[in-house]
Amino acid sequence: MDRATEKKIVLIARKTRLDELVVRFNTVDQARFYVEHLGADFSDYQEEDRTYKAALQSAQACLAGLGRVQLLDRAYVPNFIFGKDDTVVVLGQDGLVANVLKYLTVQPVVGVNPDPGRWEGVLLPFQVGDLEGAVLDTLRGRRAIRRVSMAKAELNTGQVLYGVNDLFIGPKSHTSARYSLQIGHQSEHQSSSGIIVSTGLGSTGWFRSIVAGATGIASHLTGSPLQGHQQSAFAWDADYLCFSVREPWPSRTSAAGVTFGRITPDCPLSLISQMPENGVIFSDGIEKDFIDFNAGTRATIVLAEKKGHLVV
């Protein structure tokens, strides 16, 4: 077989909701009984599964004629060693693209929407029918690459965690986080529900909801309409991050004067945990993807030294 390249193409797939139900209940029939017993539509799970599996089969067949293809389940991405010359194809939702980007360095990512009728696909500019042309153009250097800035948490324990959309620093459960915060010349002890650090890519997600909530409260209290949340988004390749403290609690031992700001290469955010247990830092809304942040641990939040490379 004549291939366009002998370089590796890594095709990243995910389990469907039906796959996960079968893992939980052992068979499709038992999964159906559980879902329909609760009054839900099981056919939607089946249709999603059929559509995704058909897209996956077509993507594999297409890529097999272009290069050496390795199929990789999303669960193995954190431990997979990507080659610097690999081309990565992600078949899934936006969240899967974001989750993959943070484990890469210079590899281009081709995001493919397997079900355009179901998924909006902000990070999925291609459909399966576009795959051959998109990958060939990428291999030949003819496709534009959109660079995506990332956030990075470095601990004094040596652990590191990257975030493509955002980082959350705070309690594992619904309790208060206690820590000392320093950014630039400002520092204080705080008690809050945690801190969100957002990238430009994530500024239309969790960060936007935080700004919208704060704007709504300020508008109500001042009696003046504010529209700050409409200007909250910033560029995907911005050279800064934004942080927001959630529900800061002013008291005799905690302050609430530093609740929002920018993190730049010259002005990192430094945090020292005062939580004896259950302190965590997780990224991109995936609570299982976390590092511990307990008493005495120092976290330095910076703009990551690497960027994601999304093919458009």
Residues 182, 56: one domain? no
Residues 201-237: b if buried by 16+ CB within 10 A, e if exposed: bbbbbbbbebbeebbeeeeeeeeeeeeebeebbbebe
Q: Point out the domain boundary residue: 105, 128, 143.
A: 143
- Say which residue, 228 or 238, is predicted with more confidence: 238
Total residues found in the chain within this entry: 312
What's the rounded mean pLDDT across residues 266-277?
A: 97
| pLDDT value for 241 | 97
Residues 24, 52: one domain? yes
The candidate with the shortest Cα–Cα distance to 306, out of 88, 153, 106, 83, is 106
Q: Point out the domain boundary residue: 143, 170, 197.
A: 143
φ, ψ for residue 309, nearest 5 deg: -125, 100
| pLDDT value for 230 | 59
| pLDDT value for 215 | 82
Q: What is the CATH number of the domain that holds 127?
A: 3.40.50
| pLDDT value for 217 | 84
Number of domains in the chain: 2
pLDDT tens, 152-164?
A: 999 999 999 999 9
What is the DSSP secondary structure assignment for residue 254, as one 8-state letter? -
Domain-embedded: residue 3: no
Residues 234, 119: one domain? no
Residues 44-74: b if buried by 16+ CB within 10 A, e if exposed: ebbebbebbeebbebbeebbeebbebeebeb
The strand order across the sheet containing 166-171 reads 260-263, 241-246, 194-198, 166-171, 279-283, 286-292
Residues 22, 93: one domain? yes
Q: Please provide the average confidence, as pLDDT, over all residues in the chain.
A: 93
Residues 280, 160: one domain? yes
Domain-embedded: residue 79: yes
| pLDDT value for 1 | 54
Q: What is the CATH number of the domain that holds 264?
A: 2.60.200.30
Domain-embedded: residue 207: yes
Residues 84, 179: one domain? no
Residues 97, 166: one domain? no
HSE value, Cβ hemisphere, 13 Å, CA-based, for 109: 29
| pLDDT value for 223 | 82
Position 5 pLDDT exceeds 90: no
The candidate with the shortest Cα–Cα distance to 46, out of 27, 18, 19, is 18
Q: Are strands 260-263 and 241-246 parallel, antiparallel or unpaired?
A: antiparallel
Looking at the DSSP bridge assignments, the partners of residue 57 are: none
Residues 76, 193: one domain? no
Domain-embedded: residue 76: yes
Residues 154, 287: one domain? yes
pLDDT interval class at 185 (50, 70, 90): very high
**Residue 277 CB neighbours (<10 A):** 9
pLDDT tens, 89-99?
A: 999 999 899 99
Residues 17, 85: one domain? yes
User: What residue numbers bound the domain in which 34 lies?
Assistant: 8-143
Q: Point out the domain boundary residue: 113, 128, 143.
A: 143
Domain-embedded: residue 159: yes
pLDDT tens, 67-83?
A: 999 999 999 999 999 99
The model's pTM: 0.88
The candidate with the shortest Cα–Cα distance to 162, out of 289, 10, 296, is 289
Cβ-count burial of 130 within 10 angstroms (0-12 exposed, 13-18 middle, 19+ buried)? middle
pLDDT interval class at 231 (50, 70, 90): low
Domain-embedded: residue 98: yes
Domain-embedded: residue 312: no
Residues 155, 297: one domain? yes
| pLDDT value for 228 | 56
Residues 126, 215: one domain? no
Domain-embedded: residue 310: no
